Structure 1
Amino acid sequence: YHFDSVYTSYSTQCEVFETVRPLVHEVMQGFEATVFAYGQTGTGKTHTMEGEIVCEEKKGIIPRAVEAIFESLGEKGKYVSSAVSASYLEIYNEELSDLLTEARGRARSREIARDRARSRETGVYAHNLSEHEVCSAADVLGLIARAQERRRVGETRMNKHSSRSHCVFTLTVTTRETTSEGMTMESTGKLHLVDLAGSECAKTAAGSAAGGGSGAHAAHDARERERKNINQSLLTLGRDVFLFPSQARIPYRDSKLTRLLQESLGGRCKTVVIATLSPSQLAVEESASTL
């Protein structure tokens, strides 16, 4: 296996964040950067990405990255002006939802569209996905707390509170600074922080419907559909990441996740994948697959 760093169960959230801190600098320079948490359900992806936003020690990558960005923007005399906006997209059973917009208690489904007038700039994006202007880290943490209440979770055999959807948190940072020649330079960077749904192999998938009546069968069918959609999109993501250096066709269109993040998986984008693993011997097969 090829990897850059290894963290144990004794590693702190701060230590993990230091691995991706250089990406914040890249974003401030106008680049796109993406961080994925990838692995089996119940191995700590959401803990790694979000953590407990009200606890300084247990904050995950998202709140720490937000704080680092605003610290950089607050450096005296560095920027003439700046603007930051945030969006939070959920992909559940290949359907898009905005976690920051209320609609009868649920986020509204969005469609993928192409902005033909600005295709070179934006490519594929989630049509009508709301972007919220934020002025401080506290503003962003408030949005994250709101999104956490709306994300789809469900109980499986592997995890009582398993995330059943992919969530893409995006920060767009626009800055203006004065060069040594007296010119004003504007740059726009994006940071995508992605908490993927947990993968599950069929033999450990959610609950059996045997002997449970029609209601149990319906619940089992819904869980099975979730599992298949999750595993299909994760498989596509793996192909896209590892086929990129070759000349083979890259199947971005095979899932909504990779289609939306197509511009963030290669080219000028910096990408970090954090693989989360279970220490259990029962999960060896899934752990090997993740690696």
Structure 2
Amino acid sequence: MKAASTTAKPARPDRDHPGGTQTLHRAASIVRLVAARNRPGMRLTDVVKFSGLQRPTAHRILKGLIAEGLLTQDPESRLYSLGPLVFELGLAAAPQFNLSDICRPSLQRIAEKTGDTVFLSVRSGHDSVCIDRKEGSFPIKTFTLDVGERRPLGAGASGLAMLMPLTDEAVQEIVRANATRLVGYHNLTVPALLAALAHSRVLRYAWNDAHLADGAATLGLPIINRYGHPFASITVGAIIGRMTETRRAEIVSILRDEIDLTEKAVRNPNQP
């Protein structure tokens, strides 16, 4: 069952972003908010609610973003969605952010070895964003994530994997920022998320069997960059009946081997 989501941190107090910097921060926050609800679109009332901005301010920024092509508004439904400029900028930036290209062979091998669906996600602020997906041969598929889908970190194994290596202080900051959004994921609460994180740390891999889809389970591991920060994750999703402890151990072993290759490629991009 798909979970509705919103995104982006609430707008910070004005003193943190004086002048033009404040406006830029607000505009970027709204773009992230709309990106999280891009498929159905987002109402002005929801932008106001989740951005923490006053209605006139939010409306003014939305009009500016539409004028620049960063957002569009459906003339009938009045819902906001991402504009054509976002797509164009993404194409221009793609050669510099080629994690999908680096990981594609690994994702394919994992899908072939496990027979299940494999997801590649990256961290974006307090969210995780799915950027690639490979299907295995098992006839019952578990599509718990769509490519381009954005979720709060911790609402699923992909985000849990990226939270695992962080300090408790960093985790608390992220969880506080996302607290009001978690309810959209099977009524996930902050205590439940923190319990899932603690359990994942004991297991030494991210594990989620409750907060995404009925009858599905997902496990995963983080990808660490050259600076020691978890910036992405690879996860495997399957029906819960396939995720026995023995099989989970097998999948984790496969993931570790492929993530080792990925981390070497990320840390040494110029080496063949």
Same fold (TM over 0.5): no
> Normalization by structure 2: what TM-score?
0.29
More helix by share: 2
Q: Tell me which of the two structures has the higher relative contact order, counting C-alpha pairs closer than 8 angstroms and 6 or more residues apart.
A: 1
